[in-house]
Chain A
Amino acid sequence: MSDQTARQELSRALLRDVAPDEGEFFDVYDAAAANPTDDRLAGTGFGPPPEFAGLLGMAAVLVGQSIFDKVLEWSADLAGEVAKKVLTDAAAEQLKRWLRAPAKESLGAVLTGAGKVEILAIVERDARAAGLSKDDQAKLLAAAARQLGLTR
């Protein structure tokens, strides 16, 4: 499984958890989350659009991408200072498995306490950037923790 496919698998699992009705939009969410600045208007619109309200489904896809990329970055330099801080000693093999199947495997035994905090901080950051309400932020955080196996 390529990194791209694995990243999508994680995002899809998160989307399925928080917004199961939006499955058919996964591909377009995935593309939009990867290229969030492409918002140029070009034509005749309907009117001033509804007040902005963060979209849980799209935020879940973005969070999936961010988490996967961060863990991939740590795995590239297992001997490095950062990796030593965020990954447990016995992480190498389990980490490899997670990177191949992030929707099925758990990161619980892979990350140190600091690593878990950093991953959850990424979720919070992306949820805020997506403009989610407090309730939706909490929902996404819980879903991410569940999906990554970070809950007890």
Chain B
Amino acid sequence: MAASNTVRAAAIAAVMRRESRLRTWLLLLIVSVVPSLLVGTSFPFTLTDLLLPLGPPLSHMAHAGLLFAGTFCILLIMAAELTRRKVRVPESSPGVGPTVSHVLQDLARRVGIEAEAQPFGGLRSRGIEAVAVGRRRIVRIATARLREVNTHPEAFRFTLAHELAHLAAGDPRADRWIACAYLAASVFMLVTFGSVLWEVGSTAATAWRFGPDAVAGSLRVAALPLAANAMSMGTLALLLFFERRSAMRLREFHADAVATALVGPGASAIDRLQGAGGGALTRWVRRLVSDHPEKHFRRRALSEHTVAFQADRILFVLQGYFAATVIEMLLQVLFVNASPNVSTLAERQQQLFLVLEHFPLTVTTLMVAAALLTFVSGLLVFRRVKVLADAAGARQVPARLVTQVPLLVGVGVGLALVSSQTVLWELSSLGWRLDAVVEADPDRASVYAAYLLGVVAAILLIIGDKGRWSLTRGGTAALAALPVAFALSAGLRFYIR
């Protein structure tokens, strides 16, 4: 019995590791690509052909990407060093004692990792946490809680098993990577917004020579780009924040599942945690931003696997947002001045032929890159859906979750569009009437509609074959390709006649 539990725990830990890896790659993709695109398009003259003479706009994007990679690596080195310093203890420091050490080693062996225990903190520290530094995997235990190995043995073992599950899944390391990528993305977004502010300020300063009316006029003109940039970056920052938080909550369920397989249900450990107080609104906000699920959800998830499925739905919103942002950037680059107030569909078709004729390599590369980015983000999301199903031991993904996917992706697409400067400009110049924008710009609307239709088709496939084929390796690739293929077909139908 104990052996089969150990096997089950190791299997869930392996699933957690896969899920964590996919999540990390998806977030790294999004937080590196979008801010790099923002910086690349904001500094066209500075980033031209510095190292890679690819010509605009590829050169801008490539250089912005390289800058992002450099910033990310520096931050990663600094973060690793900071963590190393936090867990550094003198050679002569006392250990956790033989009892705790024995319990930890036994559990670590069963999870299939090597780990060490380290005491920390003074009279009032209460935490127990997992830390990875280099090759070392450490469970840090507040000194004041060591005695729980004797006073609350079941809860203590469950907590240690939970932390070991985090270590086995590589969560502390993934956290560090994501935190550094977020920080680099924040720097890039601040730099981009700073450049917009600088532009607005210098225009206003120039206008000052012509009097206050000119300044007011320049600020009126600047209001839309300022609002669009603030909305666009604010939306991305919020989505990333919520996704990170929800992913952290999701993995708590998984770590609890590993601990349950190892030492039995840890209701007593969960019951000992501080409960969430406050009114309904406070609890709702806490559910959204907290990095740990509420106690009663964790307790329920110990026996009801579907609870965990609901934890990370924002993932799909983020995927929709990312795909729409990439498509929007592509359309903006391909059809500069492609707004319905500036050009007709025939003119846009003509422009595409023109740029294809003069810059075939650049245009093709841009289109392939956009298709690949959208495909990869979709692939990572569908692979995660599969891993989630595996983690819960379910034969198929719950229909309730998959039927929500198109709606959630649609919300993401909508958020990306309402924070796009071009779309906002079109809306404002057409009296904020969405139908007028769709009528004047049917090509753009159709590309997004086709993308969403592709997502719906993918979901119908999952439901139709009950996840048997669609959630295999080849199946997920096909699912991810569907929305891209639909969007490309719509584009070809409109532009290549």
Interface residues of A (CB under 8 A from B): 19, 21-22, 24-25, 27-33, 35-52, 54-55, 57-59, 62, 129-131
Contact = CB atoms under 8 A, between A and B. Distances in A.
Contact of B98 (A21, A24, A31, A38): A24
A25 B129 contact: no
A21 B150 CA distance: 8
Q: 3 closest Cβ contacts across the A-B interface? A: A36-B122, A43-B131, A27-B94
B140 interface: yes
Nearest to B95: A28
Nearest to A132: B123
Nearest to B293: A47
Contacts of A33: 122-123
B166 A32 contact: no
Q: Which of A19, A44, A129 has the most CB of B within 10 A?
A: A44
Given A21-B150, A58-B143, A49 B122 contact: no
Contacts of A49: 126-128, 142, 145, 273-274
Nearest to A45: B129
Interface string B195-209: 000000000000000
Given A22-B147, A50-B126, A50-B273, 9 more contacts: A22-B150, A24-B98, A30-B94, A38-B121, A39-B120, A43-B138, A43-B140, A46-B127, A51-B274
Nearest to B132: A43
A131 B124 contact: yes
Contacts of B245: none
Contact of B273 (A38, A40, A44, A47): A47
B228 interface: no
Given A27-B94, A58-B144, A37 B122 contact: yes
Contacts of A22: 147, 150
Contacts of A27: 94-95
B159 interface: yes
A41 B128 CA distance: 9
Contacts of A50: 126, 272-274
B163 interface: yes
B140 A25 contact: no
A59 B147 CA distance: 13
Interface of B: 83, 86-87, 93-99, 119-132, 138, 140, 142-147, 150, 159, 162-163, 166, 171-172, 175, 252, 269-270, 272-274, 292, 295, 298
A50 B269 CA distance: 9
Q: Would you call the interface of chain B mostly helix, strand, loop, or mixed?
A: mixed
Contacts of A129: 123
Q: Which of A27, A30, A42 counts the most B-chain CB atoms under 10 A from its CB? A: A42
A44 B175 contact: yes
A42 B140 CA distance: 9
Contact of B146 (A28, A35, A38): A28
A29 B123 CA distance: 9
Contact of B123 (A40, A43, A62): A62
A114 B18 CA distance: 67
A147 B144 CA distance: 23
Contacts of A44: 129-131, 163, 166, 171-172, 175
Contacts of A46: 127-129, 159, 162-163, 269, 273
Contacts of B274: 47-51
B128 A45 contact: yes
A37 B125 CA distance: 9
Contact of B94 (A31, A41, A59, A62): A31
B89 to A, nearest CB: 9
Contacts of B150: 21-22
A139 B387 CA distance: 54
Nearest to B159: A46
Nearest to B94: A27
Contact of A57 (B128, B147, B172): B147
A130 B121 CA distance: 13
A47 B249 CA distance: 10
Given A28-B94, A51-B274, A39 B129 contact: no
26 contacts: A22-B150, A25-B147, A27-B95, A28-B97, A36-B123, A37-B122, A38-B121, A39-B120, A39-B124, A39-B125, A43-B129, A43-B131, A43-B140, A43-B172, A46-B127, A46-B129, A47-B273, A49-B126, A49-B128, A49-B145, A50-B273, A52-B124, A55-B123, A58-B144, A131-B123, A131-B124
